[in-house]
Amino acid sequence: MLKKFSYQLEHVLVSQGGSVQMYFVSKKDILYFLAIWGTILFISFSYLFGSESFGIIDGLIRFVIVGYLIWIWFRTRYKIEENILNIQCGGFNWKINIEEIRKIRKVKSIFAAPALSIDRLEILYGKYDVVSISPKNEDKFIELLLNENPQIPIDVNSNY
């Protein structure tokens, strides 16, 4: 049985076995809001009010694109559980062993990543792997990662 505790920025699930799962939602910028929702509106209005006749295949493709963008908007999140950082962005998932994290630094970037903000945390892990994320509560997120692995160097003076 799971008990759910809600906070303003994240959700904590505590299981009977005592393991704690901490969820963090992605921070959301106006830039990403306009890009995602602008695309959704454009596709929807062009389909509904366009002068051309569209076929079933075209409508299905548009529906899939709109659905996937909505899925990304509402399901970009990060979970810390049992020494694993699980990153979810739409249908994509990354699992990172927290012991393998070599460095965390704050960056600003618009490049594609499982993040909905240009203010990001760049996580270097494994031998050459890098992923950028944007948890809404960065300080709490970093604190929990350091609880799991206190050896992680944090660079807060990078491109921020």
pLDDT in tens, 17-73: 555 678 899 999 999 999 999 999 998 888 777 766 667 888 888 899 999 999 999
In a domain, 91, yes or no: yes
- What is the tally of structural domains in the chain? 1
pLDDT at 79: 92
In a domain, 95, yes or no: yes
Q: pLDDT (tens digit, 9 = 90+) per residue, 95-129?
A: 999 999 999 999 998 888 899 999 999 999 988 99
In a domain, 61, yes or no: no
Is the pTM higher than 0.85?
no
% pLDDT > 70, the chain? 82
92-97 and 101-108: which strand pairing?
unpaired
In a domain, 49, yes or no: no
In a domain, 15, yes or no: yes
In a domain, 108, yes or no: yes
User: Which backbone phi and psi does 137 adopt, to 5 degrees?
Assistant: -110, 80
In a domain, 67, yes or no: no
DSSP secondary structure string for all residues of 118-151: SEEEEEEETTTEEEEE-BSSHHHHHHHHHHH-TT
pLDDT at 105: 93
Report the C-alpha gap between 114 and 36 in whole angstroms: 14
Q: How far apart are the first and last CA of the chain?
A: 42
Is the confidence at residue 94, as pLDDT, over 80?
yes
Region of 56 (left: φ > 0; alpha: ψ -120 to 50; beta: rest) is alpha
Hunting for tokens 């996937």 — which residue is that?
68
Domain of residue 76 covers 3-30+72-155
The domain spanning residue 111 has which CATH number? Answer: 2.30.29
In a domain, 123, yes or no: yes
